Amino acid sequence: MSIEKRFFGKLDGKGDVDIYKITNKNGAFVELMTLGAGIHSINVPDRNGKLGDVVLGFDDVNNYLNPDLGYQGLVVGRYANRIRDAKFSMDGVEYNTPKNQGTWTLHGGGRFSFNIWEVKETGNDFVVFSFFSPDMQDGFPGNFTMNVKYTFDDSNTLKIEYFVLSDKKTVANPTNHAYFNLNGAGSGSAMEQILQIRASHYTPVIDAKSIPTGEIASVDGTPFDFREAKPMGRDIEQANDQLSYGHGYDHNFVLDKERAGLEKIATAYSTKSGIKMDVITDCIGMQLYTANFIQGQKVQGGAVCKERDAFCLETQYFPNSINEPNFTTPLTEAGKSYDTKTVYAFSIA
Active site includes 201?
no
Q: Is 234 helix (H, G, I), strand (E, B) or coil?
A: coil
Q: Is 299 helix (H, G, I), strand (E, B) or coil?
A: coil
First to last CA, the chain: 24
Distances (CA, A) of 232 to 70, 249, 290, 349: 20, 9, 8, 17
Active site includes 314?
yes
Question: How does DSSP classify residue 50?
Answer: -
Question: Could you tell me what percentage of the chain is helix, strand and coil, using 3-state DSSP and rounding each to the nearest 5?
Answer: 10, 45, 45
If we measure between CA atoms, which residue out of 192, 165, 140, 196 comes closest to residue 322? 140
Helices (H), the chain: 241-246
- The Cα 29–Cα 153 span in angstroms is 9
If we measure between CA atoms, which residue out of 118, 120, 95, 117 comes closest to residue 108? 95
- Angle at CA 178, nearest 5°, toward 71 and 108? 40
Q: What one-letter code names the amino acid at 309?
A: D
If we measure between CA atoms, which residue out of 70, 104, 64, 101 comes closest to residue 87? 104
Catalytic choice (31, 40, 107, 314): 314
Catalytic choice (40, 177, 251, 324): 177
Give residues with Cβ within 8 angstroms of 234, minimum separation 6.
none
Active-site annotation, residues: 177, 314
